[in-house]
Structure 1
């Protein structure tokens, strides 16, 4: 993980307000990093950060917008994680609302765990991650070696 990180920011509809408040509060910490977001969340985050940057005469970070989660954005993000292009994920998901793409959400969380990237499912965890001394430093996560799994014998 480089000093400049690529941070995924995702929020379900009922949690977008929480995400925008969190981003507005932490925009300075996010400035030196690249952001990747799904759909509408990306549009809202870009607007929130640009508004803060305009007021404070700062240059906004790069924001890459993927498709909306239910339209494949969760899977796009999962692929970026598999390719080592995402360093951490802040995903404010809604545990009380059934999602039409619930299997995609579960797969995304599984991939984030499998590739050992820091993942915040709520504001408290996101606060702990962004306030960590490691947030702005180079960091080398320990990755599990799955080569034995890939080379396993399969009976046909």
Structure 2
């Protein structure tokens, strides 16, 4: 597999920065997977200066962001005709108060990942969880250091979908009902939450007992309410099916939730594509069977 890699300045300017936390936790897995990484210039230079991924040939340096490095990653997510220039997704560790995180190329990188059903990993927790997921799909044994991401009974899961994606969310939740029911709590916004509850009742969930705790609809502040749970580390995983083709009247609220996720970078896992979400569910089942759960 081949992934783009970038990190805002905050995430590589000190020894305990997010980029290095991710690599310390996942360098062995990256090497096991022979994961190719197209790293934007400053991110690549920080990795080299820290002595990480030393001698790892699949780590390739791309231009600085100001020289078009991130733009090139966007084109490679879409897919270029040259061999080795189609990315399977992107790891972009975002500092939510860095102005470059809302540059056109940064927004386009996420949008094209969502459109093409590829992972867009904007937090340390998301990147760590994804590496473990791919390890499991590759037949490797569970990494015990990743166990905390799979303690579902102690976690709250957010299930959110834009209008055009509500059908996809219902299909996803019905297909993976048993796994999602293992979470200690599920939360959702307005209409999505109600439709998920109706689906759960039709599948034998106790009548009248909410399967999903409903917050306000998105336009009335539901995204902000869930963002507060994320910031308090009370919601560790969000599955947020976004429609990248429609302008949203409550765009600021959506961005608020996304900023909360990146603020809780070590704790919050966010998935924005039905394809990636299903791949995670499949890996979670495989991991559980290998761990004897």
Q: TM-score with structure 2 length normalisation?
A: 0.42
Match of 2:283 in 1: 132
Match of 1:141 in 2: none
Corresponding residue SS for 2:203: helix
Match of 1:47 in 2: 198
1:53-102 Cα offsets, whole Å, 9 max, x none, are 26xx9xx7742100001100000010010111101000011110111110
Match of 1:89 in 2: 238
Query: Gapped runs of 5+ residues in structure 2?
Result: 1-147, 289-293
Corresponding residue SS for 2:176: helix
Corresponding residue SS for 1:96: coil
Match of 1:154 in 2: none
Between Structure 1 and Structure 2, how many residues are aligned?
133
1:67 aligned residue (216, 219, 227)? 216
- Taking the aligned partners of 2:283 and 2:225, their CA distance within structure 1 comes to 28
1:99-155 Cα offsets, whole Å, 9 max, x none, are 11101111211211221311111101211322334986xxxxxxxxxxxxxxxxxxx
- Taking the aligned partners of 1:131 and 1:20, their CA distance within structure 2 comes to 17
Higher Rg: 2
Aligned partners of 1:69 and 1:101 also within 8 Å:
yes
User: What's the Cα RMSD here?
Assistant: 2.3
Aligned partners of 1:78 and 1:112 also within 8 Å:
yes
Match of 2:177 in 1: 27
Q: TM-score with structure 1 length normalisation?
A: 0.77
- Larger helix proportion, structure 1 or 2? 2
Larger relative contact order (Cα-Cα within 8 Å, sequence gap ≥ 6): 1
- Taking the aligned partners of 2:269 and 2:229, their CA distance within structure 1 comes to 15
Match of 1:12 in 2: 162
- Taking the aligned partners of 1:98 and 1:76, their CA distance within structure 2 comes to 21
Match of 1:101 in 2: 250
Return 16-25 or 122-131, whichever deviates more. 122-131
Corresponding residue SS for 2:197: helix
Match of 2:93 in 1: none
